[in-house]
Structure 1
């Protein structure tokens, strides 16, 4: 039996603990989503980071016996940085996507969900709950869409009228039969800006993402970045915001609401060269509280090398030589060799030929050849 007073009280409590939006939906299967996910698998569009079992992703009852409802929450995060530093020659900067500004959102959203869990347990005997954020089985966006948080945009983000698409999502399956909210009507209309400006064409059609081509995914991989994408990531060292920044629904949505999500400009737009030789301890101490650190320093350092090549930053050459000589990781040595070829300069060919004489790893030797080819081109 639905308890209206409990639901309205929960809505007020959620606001009091910093939840910017809360919605409710039933716990029946996500049938349309199931078909889409199967099609996505067939096309090879998955990233590999998501839950592979489609039934678990679309059938809440498999995750919680007796599930009746799903509570969806959203926390808004900033779209603009105050006093953003500007990179210049000799002091180039990379950029973390907005989703990684401030503290790790997994922590922040889980804290709110935990507080809601405790609040419900105090009021409902024998309540059953399963909460998740991002890495859980359910698809956050599908839950949020059905719970009326926002509509699913052509850029595959949930777009809210209040905060645009700059929202973190979390959900909670429960055996409490809350009244479901009505989904919001899609307001994308004929706009296709996000599809037209996607750097790699990863948005293959409205609402369909080829994750393997998405810059946000590519910046989190740990192997050599495929050649065709190196020029596309620019100075992005984690994530990509292009499909959000061009969205008209995000215009004017600053979302300076939560102090914990406001970025430290020196971390959100860090100097690139100091990243190259940073130890694990230094990296964790400086960036460890950000969600963009979850894959460790290797992807960040590789992306920093590619960004320096993008800028053709000649002052980085000594650091890149040092990496080729001393770094034990083939991906770093090879990417550094390619970057030297991309940056160029009077000594670049001699540097690469000398490295070629000493290198034994076939993948690194291939990157040295690519660097030499860039010089000739």
Structure 2
């Protein structure tokens, strides 16, 4: 087989890139080691920045998003029980975020793939890129016991943090930067109405809590927990009690309790690998960077990566210019590091760190009070939360 761009990974980065290239008339094949049901069913983030929403509409994928997505014009912060709201739309000139689960995004991408001629090969085992330093790279995989090969001009590594793509960059070329946080998020899904029509981020002396949703009848709640915690030790009653304590009386009074149907603990980390291009291989999405979920940037960063990468590849094929390809890594990383900064800052502002003392706690309280009383501080938070523009 031969194509112009081989895409490793059929998550958000890989599928958005495939749709963008297809629309531009560039041939691409997506290789995915799992089946569609697995990829589509992964429970991930659900807050879409304006850039992501705009892209879905530009790709004519926004039908269900328009009908089912929940547009949020603001967000809420609780500081030791006192709730205040950030009016993001008013502060940013109309920008918003939309709650629409990643599973729903993936369904829209997959449903449109075959009718539009986007080729996705599922159950591709042992995928591996080869000769990325040459003018003739290729990708191999195994399917049904048969070794297969895809020749191409470029390879896009969209296969996540644990994928093979980043590992293909020589160790003396790749630089990694990482911060592992000393806590995790205990999250539950329950078929109960959310306690507010917008998200609530809470900083409490016992730790962080987040009230969010997946639909008007399905709630997603989180509490900060230790990395050594066991799900078995958290009954539903214990979780609801802890959540309500951390959210404070105003928000807790609106919490509807119910049986959870999913409960999990997720660690938090910040990670960046650079450069995001080596030879004919490009990295995009979680293959290149991870952010803590506090700022809701993970999938949105993947989208901004592939928008830039699609522009660069289209420029190569349609205009004969490699300027975009040569500048991709620096351009993408400029936005990545700004998103990493915001996620790191917002995590530090809202969580309790076991190695910090009373002075650090007072600094958190003072900064939250400053944000509450300062339009300038709220604008900074709002413009980062809705998503910085692509430049």
- The two structures have a TM-score, normalised by structure 1, of 0.23
- The two structures have a TM-score, normalised by structure 2, of 0.22
The structure with the greater share of residues assigned to helix is 1
The structure with the greater share of residues assigned to strand is 2
Larger radius of gyration: 1
